[in-house]
Amino acid sequence: MSTITVPPMLPPVQQDCQALHHAFKGFGCDEKHVIQILAHRNYLQRRELVNAYRSMYGEDLLRRLEKELHGNLEVSLVSQELRVRILKSIFQQAVLLWMMEPAERDAVLIRDAMKGLGTKDKTLIEIICSRTPSQLYYIRQAYQTKYHRSLDKDIQSDTSGDYRKLLLAFASGQRPEGPHVDMHLADADARELYRAGEGRLGTDESTFIRVFSTRSAAQLHAAFAAYKHLYKRDIDKAIKRETSGDFEDALRLIVKSVTRPGRYFAKVLYDSMKRMGTDDSTLIRVVVTRAEQDMQYIKADFYQKYKKPLESMISGDTSGNYKHFLLSLVGGH
């Protein structure tokens, strides 16, 4: 359910390359023309564009975009000392992430979430716990290739406890895929999850980790439905009562990504824009990673929950070519 609009009569890729090359020439970059092309090409077309640009001009298109979509110069007086620093343009960040291959993009986002002091756990949880086993397989490969580091080892060193165990189990990508559901197993899993949580004093976290990380999305969906049928409450509420912290957040995201991912991502988008100032990194991450996946569903859930179009909120919270680019990705004007 992509929101990307591709022209019905697509020009040859060489023509797109020439148009981009022309947009880069002269004083300043014609950013509107760049958006007109890049925001209206699907993943395979963008990959073909990158390869053709290198062949025609002997230059990596992403590196050229990084140079052309430069940051702003900020001058500030701090402690009577003049500091000058280049701010990376949020528009540049959005375009570069959009142009990456999906697995590499997720690897970059995961690495950014773990590097430096502290961990951006919400980003880490969102990517690892909402991707399919196949996607996680390619993310692990891309992470190793790009950073020459093991994703497992970085998760191991940056997290702890049951939260770490759950992330490592999910990142392994060993869960089955496909629509097949065993209703007897779903019923057994529901009962086991109850006994591990609400049905006892304290919580058996290992049972939650094992069930959540070894069942397909379809099988988990059936288990959650069985839980509600048997115990008259959503498993999400049980998790909220029985667990806490990052472990709780990860389990609840898995439930939401299995039952109704559109509603989850709609809330993340709304939260990124509801306060004074915009959480641009979150807004960019969700728009760029979901535009070709399920953005139509996210938009529908956004409107249903907040009674306003997603495009309207983005338009009121962003500006310039950054706004134009995001609106193009979500199917706005």
The one-digit pLDDT tens for each residue of the chain (333 residues) are: 899 999 999 999 999 999 999 999 877 899 999 999 999 999 999 999 999 999 999 999 999 999 998 654 444 444 444 333 334 589 999 999 999 999 999 999 999 999 987 889 999 999 999 999 999 999 999 999 999 999 999 999 999 999 999 999 999 988 999 999 999 999 999 999 999 999 999 999 999 999 999 999 999 999 999 999 999 999 999 999 999 999 999 999 999 999 999 999 999 999 999 988 899 999 999 999 999 999 999 999 999 999 999 999 999 999 999 999 999 999 986
State whether 150 and 167 are in the same domain: yes
CA separation (Å) from 235 to 135, 245, 253? 26, 17, 12
Domain range enclosing 73: 13-94
State whether 159 and 217 are in the same domain: no
State whether 85 and 110 are in the same domain: no
Instruction: List residues bridging with 76 in a β-sheet.
Output: 83
Q: How far apart are the two ends of the chain, measured CA to CA in Å? A: 18
- Give the separation between CA 303 and CA 317, rounded to whole angstroms: 16
- Using an 8 Å Cβ cutoff, are 181 and 218 in contact? yes
Is 289 among the domain residues?
A: no
Q: How many CA atoms lie within 13 A of 101 on its CB side?
A: 13
State whether 190 and 253 are in the same domain: yes
Last residue of a domain, one of 222, 243, 259: 259
Number of independent structural domains in the chain? 3
Which CATH number does the domain housing residue 203 bear? Answer: 1.10.220.10
Last residue of a domain, one of 140, 171, 202: 171
Is 136 among the domain residues?
A: yes
State whether 88 and 132 are in the same domain: no
In tens, the pLDDT along 215-252 reads 999 999 999 999 999 999 999 999 999 999 999 999 99
Is 206 among the domain residues?
A: yes
State whether 116 and 49 are in the same domain: no
- Using an 8 Å Cβ cutoff, are 303 and 262 in contact? no
Residues 161-164: contacts with CB under 8 Å, at least 24 apart = 161/247, 162/205, 162/206, 162/209, 162/247, 163/245, 163/246, 163/247, 163/250
Is 153 among the domain residues?
A: yes
Which residues, 6+ apart, have CB-to-CB distance to 7 below 8 Å? Answer: 40
